[in-house]
Structure 1
Amino acid sequence: MSLEQYLPALLFILIGVAMGVLPQLIGYILGPNKPDAAKNSPYECGFEAFEDARMKFDVRYYLVAILFILFDLETAFLFPWAVTLKELGMWGFLVGVEFVVVLTIGFVYMWKKGALDWE
């Protein structure tokens, strides 16, 4: 095998690296560099840190995060289902509808339980 066969892959890699590095380099060279106390302070959630970093969080924070991940992953299954819907036929459609119904029932249950309420 000659090296000419690898030229398109090498060009692809070089262009990809350039697209990632050049904007950062241009921003570093041309961007303003005026640090002040606000820019150099640690940032978390838009307000100043007022307690120990090992403070306890409310369990609702974790519950909302877990529910978000759960529903996000479940809806990610809808994309391949929608793409292959013609090949799946009526049976695949009904299985997908069942999945969406179970997902909706779970969402309504969590909503009624107050898991999505934030005070």
Structure 2
Amino acid sequence: MEETAHYWVFLVYTVAVTGLVAGMIGVSYFLGQRHMKPATRQPFESGIVTVGYARFRLPVQFYLIAMFFVIFDLEAAFLYAWATAVRAAGWTGYIVMLVFIVTLLAALVYLWRAGALNWGPRTRQLSKQRPG
């Protein structure tokens, strides 16, 4: 008996949410403005009508920087979570977080030395020719 009560609560919640969404869409349809200007059907970004072709290729470095951001943003989330529980984690938590930070710094140094962070045009180094 008690198990069916949970289904009724879920059903009432679903009907309420569906009614609220349908009501908001209906009210906006009836009260919304109806005008057709040339810019109405054009896509826009932040209120600015687009100019030019939107499907251009971005350099690979853009995606590398995006991945670095995701990685180091995740590091910041881990550091924040650790900082809130630093006393409960104790010295073991401190050592684990230190290893985590050192590993990420080693990865950053590796990427830096490999040239993954260079944005400028790549110059080819000429190989030394042996006098013949």
The TM tier, using the shorter chain, reads 0.5 to 0.7
User: Which residue is equivalent to 2:90?
Assistant: 89
Q: Structure 2 vs 1, CA of residues 37 and 115 (structure 1 numbering), >3 Å: closer, same or farther?
A: farther
User: Which residue is equivalent to 1:37?
Assistant: 38
Say yes or no: does 1:48 pair with 2:51. Answer: yes
Q: Conserved in 2, the CA contact under 8 Å of 1:64 and 1:116?
A: no
Task: Report the structure, 1 or 2, having the larger helix content.
Answer: 1
CA–CA separation in structure 2 for the residues paired with 1:25 and 1:70: 43
Deviation at 1:69, TM superposition (A): 2.3
CA–CA separation in structure 1 for the residues paired with 2:118 and 2:10: 48
> What TM-score do the two structures reach when normalised by structure 1?
0.57
Q: Conserved in 1, the CA contact under 8 Å of 2:65 and 2:117?
A: yes
> What TM-score do the two structures reach when normalised by structure 2?
0.53
Superposed, 1:8-23 pairs within 5 Å as 8-23=9-24
User: Which residue is equivalent to 2:100?
Assistant: 99
Q: Structure 2 vs 1, CA of residues 48 and 10 (structure 1 numbering), >3 Å: closer, same or farther?
A: same
CA–CA separation in structure 1 for the residues paired with 2:14 and 2:118: 45
2:40 alignment partner, SS class: helix
Q: Conserved in 1, the CA contact under 8 Å of 2:86 and 2:94?
A: yes
Q: Which has the higher contact order (CA 8 A, sep 6+)?
A: 1
Unaligned runs of 5+ in 2: 121-132
Q: Say how many residue pairs are matched.
A: 113
Larger Rg: 2
Percent identity between matched residues is: 26
